[in-house]
Amino acid sequence: MIEDFQQVARVRVASVVELAQELVRRPSRGGIDDYGPVLAVLEDWLAAQGLAHRRLHDDAGGLVGLLVEVRGGLPGPWWTLDACVDPSVR
């Protein structure tokens, strides 16, 4: 049973590392680069993880973010994480 948990953990870690690598490969300078390529990588990863999400658009219809809801087992307050998806190392 411990081996099963370890295997699941290895798969999850590998998935997150691959996501980070893909994000770093995309230009993501705030206010300079288009959000689309970075958000597409994240959107693909969310879909592969089975996490429901929806696109957020600005007043002009441009893609500016993703909304992801991770439901818990019990009702309770909502928490919001407003995070920049900019893993680039400069």
The token pair at 78 is 């909502």
How far, in Å, CA of 51 to CA of 71, rounded? Answer: 10
Q: What is the mean pLDDT of residues 70-87?
A: 74
At residue 28, what are phi and psi to the nearest 5 degrees? -150, 40
Entry pTM:
0.75
How far, in Å, CA of 46 to CA of 48, rounded? Answer: 5
Kindly report the number of other CB atoms within 10 A of residue 10's CB atom: 10
Q: Which stretches of the chain are assigned E, i.e. beta strand?
A: 53-57, 63-68
- Going by C-alpha positions, the residue among 36, 33, 26, 30 that lies closest to residue 63 is 36
Range in 20-29, 33-42, 69-78, 79-88 with the lowest mean pLDDT: 79-88
